[in-house]
Amino acid sequence: MATLRDIKRRIQSVKKTAQITKAMQMVAAAKLRRIQEALEDARPYAQKMDQVIGDLVNKSEEGAHPFMEERPGPRKLQLVVIATDRGLCGGLNTNLFRQTTAFLREKQGAYSDIQLFLIGRKARDYFKRRDVKIKTIRNQVLPGRADFELVKPVARELIQSFTSADTDEVGVLFTRFQSMMTQRPSYLTLLPLPRSQEGAPAGGAEPAGAGSGEYLYEPSQARLLEKLLPRHIEVRLYWAMLESLTSELASRMTAMDSATSNAKDMIDRLTLTFNRARQAAITKELMDIVNGAEALR
């Protein structure tokens, strides 16, 4: 049976743990507000750009730009998996990796080759122990702050891989933020840009709203495609990374809040156990005194 000293030490240990989890919750909450604002600012821009690019792609001729090239035959896929650098964010990474494994199993016969482009230390640690092809490993591109410039080198690397025919398709698996309690793994086709239905966004990253409208383009469509499509790829990748980062912070905040609450419950139980053990010890000492006094009579 644990002694009073052991119980007291455990209470102090749990209190220190609760202080840490509470601090992590507050840090995640502070970061989440900033990142969520950046995500809310980026979503309308990404939606409208999807809408305009979708209209432009639909009106362009086949082969008007290399990013629209649908290559025949067995294709090679480069799959970007956006995970986190740190843990303690609930089941966020577990759900993403489960979805990735299911995707690889499902698409195994659809592609001649699938290579992973891993973002985040947790993705590296998980997939290095699996029988998969890993092409690139990077740490989290947006380490707690929304900086569009940090995404550009990754977008350029993916574009180079596609245009050099090193891969025939680029897809992104990330976690989409829906609410504080709900974050779901999602798939986004980055390249090639598919021809969508009239008025729908190319690739379907986000609902575009009602109708695409009519657009007048100046200068020529070819020059617009040359300038806008690389920017479009960067914006879509940035949006996916913002969604993942917001999901990470929301999940960590929720997990740390739950951990803090559980620690408080454990402290209450341990305090009750401590009080009972102390009361039992006092009662035993009193009984020893009474029995000693009776023996001296």
Which residues are catalytic, by number?
A: 89
Nearest to 173 by CA among 252, 260, 257, 241: 241
Report residue 186 CA to chain centroid gap.
10
183, two tokens? 């974050």
Sheet with strand 183-191: strands edge to edge: 133-138, 111-119, 75-82, 169-177, 183-191
Do residues 83 and 97 lie in contact, with contact meaning Cβ atoms separated by under 8 Å?
yes
Which one, of 9, 95, 53, 63, lies nearest residue 199 by Cα? 53
User: Which residues are CB-contacts of 96 (< 8 A; sequence separation ≥ 6)?
Assistant: 81, 82, 83, 173, 174, 175, 185
In sequence order, what are the residues at sequence separation of 6 or more whose Cβ sits closer than 8 angstroms to the Cβ of residue 281? 4
DSSP run (H or E) holding 274: helix 221-296
Angstrom distances, CA of residue 283 to CA of 1, 185, 274, 289, 295: 17, 58, 14, 10, 18
The reply to whether omega before 219 is within 30° of 0 (cis) is yes
Phi and psi at 207, nearest 5°, equal -60, 135
What is the DSSP annotation of 86-97?
S--STTHHHHHH
